[in-house]
Amino acid sequence: MKHPFDLTGKTAIVVGGAGGLGQQQAIGLANAGAVVAVVDVNAERLASAIREIKQQGGNARPFLTDITDPHAVQAMVHTVVAEFGRIDILVNAAGITQRCPSEDFPEELFERILNINLNGLFYACQSVGKVMIRQGGGRIINVASIFATVGLPESVAYSMSKGAVVQITRTLAVEWATSHIAVNGLMPSWFETPMGKVADNRNQFYKGVARVPSAEELKEKTIGRVPLGRYGMPHEIIGATVFLASDAASMVTGHLLAVDGGFLAQ
Ligand SMILES: NC(=O)c1ccc[n+]([C@@H]2O[C@H](COP(=O)([O-])OP(=O)(O)OC[C@H]3O[C@@H](n4cnc5c(N)ncnc54)[C@H](O)[C@@H]3O)[C@@H](O)[C@H]2O)c1
């Protein structure tokens, strides 16, 4: 009998697959047997992600694509279908953030964050969704955040984009259920990636603030609020991703799975 987490013969697309979490998700899907199209806008990180997946014995192909361009997304999806015949799994893990007081939040930054975290994610769902409807089913996994549900100061564009990701996920889950497409999401807390380790990388994230908080203050405000008391390690996103992509989750759709060390249980 086939193991319920086995993804042999499946084709997956991981958008943002060169990033801290996306790369782990791509590795996890590849190790479970899927062929993975790794999509990212960062050529260097993309090449390194493909090397890593192949070194671990997985099968992956790079796609240098900016998901804020709907035509580029359609072209990428078209090529994946032409090469692999179908798309069984889509993971949306591209995302950016920057912190700035809401009263001074620059228009350009506001638009850039929404364009990537929200519009780009929808373009990918839409293009892949069409293919999945045609082929009779599939799995979509959208990476939201704990800040889809609670507020994060100085991060209005990020928090609202993630709140919208939750609603895209629920809406598509309901709308596409009869097409046998399961649409679920993940809500991570702080993970050890450049984005998650905001305390160590604080100067790159703060814009237009009178004082950038110290690393200690930020640790207190971040992992200090997580019941498990630590950052998630990037590989700790794999289990939830493979579960939602696999037959083990055959009755699960429209669900947001917190991978957050207990943050949302408080
Ligand atoms: N790391 C955390 O603590 C954390 C917590 C909650 C949610 N998240 C979410 O998880 C996802 C991954 O985060 P991460 O920590 O791995 O960040 P990351 O910066 O390491 O990865 C994000 C990836 O998205 C890619 N990307 C950015 N813009 C793109 C575009 N226009 N087209 C294609 N690719 C693009 C980047 O090149 C990068 O490789 C994001 O959506 C983030 O909001 C992260």
- Residues having CB closer than 6 A to ligand 1 are 16, 18-22, 40-42, 45, 66-68, 93-96, 116, 120, 143, 145, 188, 190-191, 193-196
Looking at the domain 11-260, which fold is it?
Rossmann fold (3.40.50)
Substitution candidate for ligand 1 out of 71, 92, 96 with most atoms within 8 A of CB:
96
| Apex 10 CA angle, 57 and 125, nearest 5 | 115
Find the DSSP H helices in 139-224: 156-175, 202-205, 215-221
Write the residue with the smallest CA distance to atom 30 of ligand 1.
66
First to last CA, the chain: 40
The pLDDT profile of the chain, 266 residues, written as one tens digit per residue, is: 789 999 999 999 999 999 999 999 999 999 999 999 999 999 999 999 999 999 999 999 999 999 999 999 999 999 999 999 999 999 999 999 999 999 999 999 999 999 999 999 999 999 999 999 999 999 999 999 999 999 999 999 999 999 999 999 999 999 999 999 999 999 999 999 988 888 888 888 887 788 889 989 989 999 999 999 999 999 999 999 999 999 999 999 999 999 999 999 99
Write the residue with the smallest CA distance to atom 26 of ligand 1.
94
Work out which ligand 1 atom sits closest to the CA atom of 147: 6
For the CA atoms of the chain, what is the radius of gyration?
Answer: 18
C-alpha 132/C-alpha 215 separation (Å) is: 45
Per-domain boundaries in the chain? 11-260
Strands of the 256-259 sheet, one edge to the other: 59-64, 35-40, 11-15, 89-92, 138-143, 181-188, 256-259
Q: Evaluate if pTM is beyond 0.85.
A: yes
C-alpha 243/C-alpha 248 separation (Å) is: 6
